[in-house]
Structure 1
Amino acid sequence: MDPDYLSLPDDLPVPVDDGATAHLVGRRLPDVSLEATDGGRVSLARLAGRSVVYAYPRTGEPGRPNLVADWDAIPGARGCTPQACDFRDHHAQLLARGIARVHGLSTQTSAYQREAAERLRLPFTLLADPHRALVQAARLPTFSVAGQILLRRFTLVLDDGIVTKVFYPVFPPDRSAVELLAWLDTGEA
Protein backbone atom coordinates (compact mmCIF):
# COMPACT_ATOMS: atom_id res chain seq x y z
CA MET A 1 0.00 0.00 0.00
CA ASP A 2 1.29 3.47 -0.92
CA PRO A 3 1.44 5.94 1.96
CA ASP A 4 -0.87 8.95 1.81
CA TYR A 5 1.61 11.79 2.23
CA LEU A 6 -1.03 14.52 2.30
CA SER A 7 -2.78 13.43 5.48
CA LEU A 8 -1.68 12.54 8.99
CA PRO A 9 -2.76 9.51 11.02
CA ASP A 10 -4.69 10.31 14.21
CA ASP A 11 -2.31 8.28 16.37
CA LEU A 12 1.02 9.94 15.55
CA PRO A 13 3.37 9.98 18.54
CA VAL A 14 4.06 13.48 19.87
CA PRO A 15 7.76 14.42 19.94
CA VAL A 16 9.16 15.80 23.21
CA ASP A 17 11.27 18.89 23.72
CA ASP A 18 14.68 17.48 24.59
CA GLY A 19 16.37 20.90 24.51
CA ALA A 20 18.24 20.13 21.29
CA THR A 21 17.58 23.60 19.84
CA ALA A 22 18.03 25.69 23.02
CA HIS A 23 21.54 26.79 21.98
CA LEU A 24 20.29 28.40 18.76
CA VAL A 25 18.41 31.49 20.04
CA GLY A 26 20.55 34.59 19.70
CA ARG A 27 23.12 32.85 17.54
CA ARG A 28 24.11 33.78 14.00
CA LEU A 29 23.88 30.69 11.84
CA PRO A 30 27.16 29.53 10.28
CA ASP A 31 27.92 30.87 6.80
CA VAL A 32 27.26 27.68 4.84
CA SER A 33 26.15 27.79 1.21
CA LEU A 34 23.22 25.47 0.52
CA GLU A 35 21.82 24.46 -2.86
CA ALA A 36 18.24 25.59 -3.42
CA THR A 37 15.59 23.94 -5.56
CA ASP A 38 15.55 26.96 -7.90
CA GLY A 39 19.20 26.26 -8.81
CA GLY A 40 20.61 29.07 -6.68
CA ARG A 41 22.59 28.94 -3.48
CA VAL A 42 21.58 30.34 -0.08
CA SER A 43 23.54 31.06 3.08
CA LEU A 44 21.10 31.52 5.95
CA ALA A 45 23.74 33.61 7.77
CA ARG A 46 23.64 36.20 5.00
CA LEU A 47 19.89 36.66 4.68
CA ALA A 48 18.75 40.24 5.21
CA GLY A 49 15.50 40.95 7.02
CA ARG A 50 13.24 38.39 8.66
CA SER A 51 13.27 34.86 7.27
CA VAL A 52 11.66 31.59 8.25
CA VAL A 53 13.35 28.22 7.83
CA TYR A 54 11.44 25.06 8.59
CA ALA A 55 13.48 21.88 8.92
CA TYR A 56 12.00 18.51 8.15
CA PRO A 57 13.30 14.92 7.96
CA ARG A 58 12.52 14.03 4.34
CA THR A 59 9.78 14.24 1.79
CA GLY A 60 8.16 11.04 0.66
CA GLU A 61 7.78 10.04 -2.96
CA PRO A 62 4.38 9.05 -4.31
CA GLY A 63 4.36 5.44 -5.42
CA ARG A 64 7.24 4.49 -3.12
CA PRO A 65 7.09 3.02 0.37
CA ASN A 66 8.24 4.86 3.48
CA LEU A 67 11.94 4.74 4.33
CA VAL A 68 11.15 2.15 7.02
CA ALA A 69 7.96 0.25 7.77
CA ASP A 70 7.52 1.92 11.19
CA TRP A 71 8.14 5.50 9.94
CA ASP A 72 4.88 6.73 11.51
CA ALA A 73 5.97 5.41 14.93
CA ILE A 74 9.04 7.68 15.02
CA PRO A 75 8.04 10.83 16.94
CA GLY A 76 8.19 13.82 14.58
CA ALA A 77 9.08 11.86 11.46
CA ARG A 78 5.75 11.81 9.62
CA GLY A 79 4.32 14.98 8.14
CA CYS A 80 6.83 16.61 5.79
CA THR A 81 4.36 17.03 2.93
CA PRO A 82 1.55 18.41 5.14
CA GLN A 83 4.05 20.82 6.72
CA ALA A 84 5.25 22.04 3.30
CA CYS A 85 1.63 22.46 2.19
CA ASP A 86 0.85 24.45 5.36
CA PHE A 87 3.69 26.87 4.56
CA ARG A 88 2.57 27.00 0.92
CA ASP A 89 -1.04 27.72 1.85
CA HIS A 90 -0.06 30.47 4.32
CA HIS A 91 2.86 31.91 2.35
CA ALA A 92 1.08 35.15 1.38
CA GLN A 93 -0.02 35.71 5.00
CA LEU A 94 3.57 35.25 6.21
CA LEU A 95 4.85 37.78 3.67
CA ALA A 96 2.10 40.20 4.69
CA ARG A 97 3.33 39.98 8.30
CA GLY A 98 6.88 40.94 7.39
CA ILE A 99 8.52 37.64 6.57
CA ALA A 100 10.89 38.35 3.66
CA ARG A 101 11.31 34.72 2.66
CA VAL A 102 10.53 31.13 3.63
CA HIS A 103 12.81 28.15 3.05
CA GLY A 104 12.43 24.46 3.79
CA LEU A 105 15.58 22.58 4.88
CA SER A 106 16.50 18.91 4.85
CA THR A 107 19.47 16.62 4.40
CA GLN A 108 18.06 15.34 1.12
CA THR A 109 19.71 16.33 -2.14
CA SER A 110 18.34 19.27 -4.08
CA ALA A 111 17.49 16.95 -7.00
CA TYR A 112 15.33 14.86 -4.66
CA GLN A 113 13.73 17.95 -3.13
CA ARG A 114 13.00 19.46 -6.56
CA GLU A 115 10.39 16.77 -7.26
CA ALA A 116 8.47 17.71 -4.11
CA ALA A 117 8.82 21.46 -4.71
CA GLU A 118 7.35 21.08 -8.21
CA ARG A 119 4.66 18.54 -7.30
CA LEU A 120 3.46 20.62 -4.34
CA ARG A 121 3.82 23.93 -6.24
CA LEU A 122 5.80 25.54 -3.45
CA PRO A 123 6.26 29.32 -3.77
CA PHE A 124 9.55 29.11 -1.88
CA THR A 125 12.71 27.06 -2.16
CA LEU A 126 13.81 23.95 -0.35
CA LEU A 127 17.45 23.95 0.76
CA ALA A 128 19.66 20.87 0.63
CA ASP A 129 22.30 19.95 3.23
CA PRO A 130 23.12 16.38 2.13
CA HIS A 131 26.67 16.52 3.52
CA ARG A 132 25.34 18.01 6.77
CA ALA A 133 27.73 20.98 6.71
CA LEU A 134 25.16 23.35 8.27
CA VAL A 135 23.74 20.59 10.46
CA GLN A 136 27.15 19.96 12.03
CA ALA A 137 28.32 23.58 12.18
CA ALA A 138 25.11 24.76 13.89
CA ARG A 139 24.60 21.52 15.89
CA LEU A 140 21.09 21.08 14.52
CA PRO A 141 19.06 18.19 15.96
CA THR A 142 19.03 14.97 13.95
CA PHE A 143 18.03 11.33 14.19
CA SER A 144 19.23 8.24 12.35
CA VAL A 145 17.07 5.73 10.52
CA ALA A 146 17.86 3.16 7.83
CA GLY A 147 21.46 4.37 7.65
CA GLN A 148 20.45 8.00 7.02
CA ILE A 149 20.91 11.01 9.26
CA LEU A 150 17.83 13.21 9.05
CA LEU A 151 16.88 16.53 10.60
CA ARG A 152 14.33 16.61 13.35
CA ARG A 153 11.41 18.92 12.68
CA PHE A 154 11.82 22.53 13.88
CA THR A 155 11.19 26.06 12.62
CA LEU A 156 13.59 28.99 12.92
CA VAL A 157 12.81 32.69 12.69
CA LEU A 158 15.92 34.55 11.56
CA ASP A 159 16.52 38.28 11.69
CA ASP A 160 19.49 39.21 9.51
CA GLY A 161 20.86 35.67 9.88
CA ILE A 162 20.46 35.53 13.68
CA VAL A 163 18.04 33.05 15.25
CA THR A 164 15.43 35.01 17.19
CA LYS A 165 12.80 32.29 17.70
CA VAL A 166 12.74 28.50 17.54
CA PHE A 167 9.65 26.32 17.38
CA TYR A 168 10.64 22.87 18.62
CA PRO A 169 9.29 20.32 18.59
CA VAL A 170 6.81 21.07 15.82
CA PHE A 171 3.57 19.16 16.28
CA PRO A 172 1.33 18.66 14.52
CA PRO A 173 3.38 19.39 11.41
CA ASP A 174 0.38 20.43 9.33
CA ARG A 175 -0.12 23.44 11.65
CA SER A 176 3.46 24.69 11.61
CA ALA A 177 2.81 27.87 9.60
CA VAL A 178 -0.42 28.51 11.52
CA GLU A 179 1.53 28.33 14.81
CA LEU A 180 4.09 30.77 13.40
CA LEU A 181 1.36 33.17 12.29
CA ALA A 182 -0.21 33.04 15.76
CA TRP A 183 3.16 33.91 17.29
CA LEU A 184 3.64 36.79 14.85
CA ASP A 185 0.21 38.12 15.81
CA THR A 186 0.93 38.06 19.56
CA GLY A 187 3.31 40.97 19.37
CA GLU A 188 6.14 38.91 20.87
CA ALA A 189 7.72 38.74 17.46
Structure 2
Amino acid sequence: MTERLTTGDAAPDFTLQDPEGNEVSLAGFRGRHVVVYFYPAASTPGCTKQACDFRDNIASLQGAGYDVVGISPDPLPKLAKFAQNEALNFPLLSDPDHAVAAAYGAWGEKKNYGKVYEGLIRSTVVVDPDGKVSLAQYNVRATGHVAKLRRDLGLD
Protein backbone atom coordinates (compact mmCIF):
# COMPACT_ATOMS: atom_id res chain seq x y z
CA MET A 1 0.00 0.00 0.00
CA THR A 2 1.35 3.40 -0.92
CA GLU A 3 1.52 6.12 1.70
CA ARG A 4 -1.55 8.34 1.81
CA LEU A 5 -1.19 12.10 1.82
CA THR A 6 -2.42 14.25 4.69
CA THR A 7 -3.10 17.95 5.19
CA GLY A 8 0.10 19.98 5.04
CA ASP A 9 2.08 17.47 2.94
CA ALA A 10 3.79 18.78 -0.19
CA ALA A 11 1.72 17.55 -3.13
CA PRO A 12 3.85 15.40 -5.44
CA ASP A 13 4.48 17.24 -8.68
CA PHE A 14 3.43 15.56 -11.90
CA THR A 15 3.34 16.11 -15.63
CA LEU A 16 0.89 13.98 -17.62
CA GLN A 17 -0.69 14.16 -21.06
CA ASP A 18 -4.26 15.10 -21.86
CA PRO A 19 -6.08 13.60 -24.89
CA GLU A 20 -4.99 16.50 -27.12
CA GLY A 21 -1.33 15.69 -26.43
CA ASN A 22 -0.77 18.67 -24.14
CA GLU A 23 1.40 18.21 -21.08
CA VAL A 24 -0.37 19.29 -17.89
CA SER A 25 1.63 19.67 -14.71
CA LEU A 26 0.71 20.44 -11.13
CA ALA A 27 3.15 23.37 -11.24
CA GLY A 28 0.92 24.99 -13.87
CA PHE A 29 -1.77 25.45 -11.20
CA ARG A 30 0.43 27.33 -8.71
CA GLY A 31 -1.44 30.30 -7.30
CA ARG A 32 -4.80 28.50 -7.45
CA HIS A 33 -6.42 25.64 -5.62
CA VAL A 34 -6.68 22.47 -7.67
CA VAL A 35 -8.86 19.43 -7.08
CA VAL A 36 -6.94 16.37 -8.29
CA TYR A 37 -9.28 13.42 -8.45
CA PHE A 38 -8.36 9.85 -9.30
CA TYR A 39 -10.92 7.53 -10.88
CA PRO A 40 -10.57 3.89 -11.97
CA ALA A 41 -11.97 3.79 -15.52
CA ALA A 42 -13.48 6.22 -18.01
CA SER A 43 -17.01 5.55 -19.28
CA THR A 44 -18.00 3.23 -16.43
CA PRO A 45 -21.21 4.13 -14.55
CA GLY A 46 -19.62 5.40 -11.32
CA CYS A 47 -16.80 7.29 -13.03
CA THR A 48 -19.26 8.86 -15.47
CA LYS A 49 -21.51 10.00 -12.62
CA GLN A 50 -18.56 11.52 -10.76
CA ALA A 51 -17.12 13.25 -13.85
CA CYS A 52 -20.53 14.68 -14.77
CA ASP A 53 -20.93 16.00 -11.21
CA PHE A 54 -17.61 17.82 -11.56
CA ARG A 55 -18.69 19.06 -15.01
CA ASP A 56 -21.97 20.40 -13.64
CA ASN A 57 -20.19 22.16 -10.73
CA ILE A 58 -17.13 23.46 -12.57
CA ALA A 59 -18.32 27.06 -12.90
CA SER A 60 -18.98 27.46 -9.17
CA LEU A 61 -15.76 25.61 -8.27
CA GLN A 62 -13.68 27.79 -10.59
CA GLY A 63 -15.50 30.88 -9.34
CA ALA A 64 -14.35 29.96 -5.82
CA GLY A 65 -10.76 29.55 -7.09
CA TYR A 66 -10.68 25.76 -7.60
CA ASP A 67 -9.57 24.09 -10.83
CA VAL A 68 -10.32 20.40 -11.42
CA VAL A 69 -8.15 17.68 -12.98
CA GLY A 70 -9.19 14.04 -13.39
CA ILE A 71 -6.53 11.31 -13.55
CA SER A 72 -6.98 7.66 -14.51
CA PRO A 73 -4.83 4.86 -15.93
CA ASP A 74 -6.87 4.92 -19.17
CA PRO A 75 -5.13 5.38 -22.54
CA LEU A 76 -5.49 8.79 -24.19
CA PRO A 77 -7.97 7.71 -26.92
CA LYS A 78 -10.34 6.37 -24.26
CA LEU A 79 -10.08 9.65 -22.32
CA ALA A 80 -10.77 11.65 -25.48
CA LYS A 81 -13.92 9.65 -26.18
CA PHE A 82 -15.06 9.95 -22.55
CA ALA A 83 -14.52 13.72 -22.51
CA GLN A 84 -16.36 14.13 -25.81
CA ASN A 85 -19.28 11.84 -24.95
CA GLU A 86 -19.88 13.54 -21.60
CA ALA A 87 -18.98 17.12 -22.67
CA LEU A 88 -16.40 17.31 -19.88
CA ASN A 89 -15.01 20.80 -19.34
CA PHE A 90 -11.85 20.08 -17.34
CA PRO A 91 -8.63 18.18 -18.14
CA LEU A 92 -8.50 14.40 -18.03
CA LEU A 93 -4.98 13.04 -17.74
CA SER A 94 -3.58 9.59 -18.47
CA ASP A 95 -1.41 7.90 -15.82
CA PRO A 96 -0.78 4.55 -17.56
CA ASP A 97 1.98 3.33 -15.24
CA HIS A 98 0.12 4.46 -12.07
CA ALA A 99 3.15 6.46 -10.92
CA VAL A 100 1.18 9.60 -10.07
CA ALA A 101 -1.64 7.63 -8.45
CA ALA A 102 0.94 5.78 -6.33
CA ALA A 103 2.66 9.05 -5.33
CA TYR A 104 -0.72 10.37 -4.16
CA GLY A 105 -1.63 7.19 -2.28
CA ALA A 106 -4.39 6.41 -4.77
CA TRP A 107 -2.96 3.10 -6.00
CA GLY A 108 -2.98 0.04 -3.81
CA GLU A 109 -4.70 -3.03 -2.51
CA LYS A 110 -8.40 -3.33 -3.17
CA LYS A 111 -10.97 -5.99 -2.40
CA ASN A 112 -13.94 -6.84 -4.58
CA TYR A 113 -16.21 -9.80 -3.87
CA GLY A 114 -13.51 -11.34 -1.68
CA LYS A 115 -10.80 -11.02 -4.34
CA VAL A 116 -7.73 -8.96 -3.42
CA TYR A 117 -5.91 -7.08 -6.18
CA GLU A 118 -3.92 -3.91 -6.93
CA GLY A 119 -5.87 -1.06 -8.43
CA LEU A 120 -6.80 2.56 -8.43
CA ILE A 121 -8.49 3.79 -5.25
CA ARG A 122 -11.09 6.47 -5.98
CA SER A 123 -9.51 9.46 -4.27
CA THR A 124 -9.52 13.25 -4.22
CA VAL A 125 -6.68 15.51 -3.14
CA VAL A 126 -7.10 19.28 -2.96
CA VAL A 127 -3.85 21.18 -3.43
CA ASP A 128 -3.54 24.76 -2.19
CA PRO A 129 -1.96 27.63 -4.17
CA ASP A 130 1.44 26.91 -2.59
CA GLY A 131 1.45 23.23 -3.63
CA LYS A 132 0.49 21.81 -0.21
CA VAL A 133 -2.29 19.31 0.44
CA SER A 134 -5.28 21.06 2.02
CA LEU A 135 -7.62 18.05 1.90
CA ALA A 136 -7.09 14.36 1.07
CA GLN A 137 -9.98 11.91 0.78
CA TYR A 138 -9.62 8.21 -0.06
CA ASN A 139 -12.16 5.52 -0.96
CA VAL A 140 -14.68 8.20 -1.87
CA ARG A 141 -18.06 7.33 -3.30
CA ALA A 142 -18.69 8.29 -6.92
CA THR A 143 -22.26 9.40 -6.28
CA GLY A 144 -22.58 12.48 -4.11
CA HIS A 145 -18.84 13.05 -3.84
CA VAL A 146 -18.80 16.52 -5.39
CA ALA A 147 -21.57 17.73 -3.07
CA LYS A 148 -19.65 16.37 -0.05
CA LEU A 149 -16.42 17.92 -1.33
CA ARG A 150 -18.15 21.31 -1.71
CA ARG A 151 -19.39 21.06 1.89
CA ASP A 152 -15.93 20.02 3.16
CA LEU A 153 -14.38 23.01 1.37
CA GLY A 154 -17.00 25.37 2.81
CA LEU A 155 -18.43 26.24 -0.60
CA ASP A 156 -22.08 25.52 0.21
TM-score above 0.5, yes or no: yes
More deviation in 80-89 or 27-36? 27-36
Instruction: Evaluate the alpha carbon distance shift between residue 151 and residue 32 of structure 1 in structure 2; reply closer, same or farther with a 3 A threshold.
Output: same
Which residue of structure 1 aligns with residue 85 of structure 2?
119
Query: Following the alignment from structure 1 to structure 2, what is the Cα–Cα distance between the partners of residues 184 and 136?
Result: 24
Contact 1:55 1:152 in 2 (8 A): yes
Query: Following the alignment from structure 1 to structure 2, what is the Cα–Cα distance between the partners of residues 92 and 38?
Result: 22
Which residue of structure 2 aligns with residue 87 of structure 1?
54
The CA deviation string for residues 58-99 of structure 1, in whole angstroms up to 9 with x for no partner, is 1236xxxxxxxxxxxxxxxx6111000110111111112221
SS in 1 for 2:154: helix
Alignment of 1:7-46 (within 5 A): 21=4, 23-46=5-28
Contact 2:2 2:108 in 1 (8 A): no
- Quote the offset at 1:32 in angstroms: 2.6
- Quote the offset at 1:54 in angstroms: 1.2
More deviation in 178-187 or 113-122? 178-187
**Structure 2 length-normalised TM:** 0.81
- Quote the offset at 1:140 in angstroms: 3.0
Contact 1:38 1:125 in 2 (8 A): no
Choose between structure 1 and 2: higher strand proportion. Answer: 2
Contact 2:2 2:107 in 1 (8 A): no
Instruction: Evaluate the alpha carbon distance shift between residue 159 and residue 141 of structure 1 in structure 2; reply closer, same or farther with a 3 A threshold.
Output: same
Residue 179, structure 1, aligned to residue 145, structure 2: no
Residue 104, structure 1, aligned to residue 70, structure 2: yes
Query: Following the alignment from structure 2 to structure 1, what is the Cα–Cα distance between the partners of residues 17 and 123?
Result: 20
Residue 153, structure 1, aligned to residue 122, structure 2: yes
Which residue of structure 2 aligns with residue 57 of structure 1?
40
Which one has the largest radius of gyration? 1
Contact 2:15 2:25 in 1 (8 A): yes
Specify the code of the residue in structure 2 equivalent to 1:140.
A
Specify the code of the residue in structure 2 equivalent to 1:40.
N
Query: Following the alignment from structure 2 to structure 1, what is the Cα–Cα distance between the partners of residues 89 and 81?
Result: 14
- Quote the offset at 1:139 in angstroms: 4.0
Contact 1:52 1:157 in 2 (8 A): yes
Question: What RMSD over aligned residues (CA atoms) do the two structures have, in Å?
Answer: 2.8
The CA deviation string for residues 121-154 of structure 1, in whole angstroms up to 9 with x for no partner, is 0010101110222234444333579xx9532101
- Quote the offset at 1:55 in angstroms: 0.7
Aligned partner of 1:129 among 90, 95, 109:
95
Unaligned runs of 5+ in 1: 1-17, 62-77
Percent identity over the alignment is 34
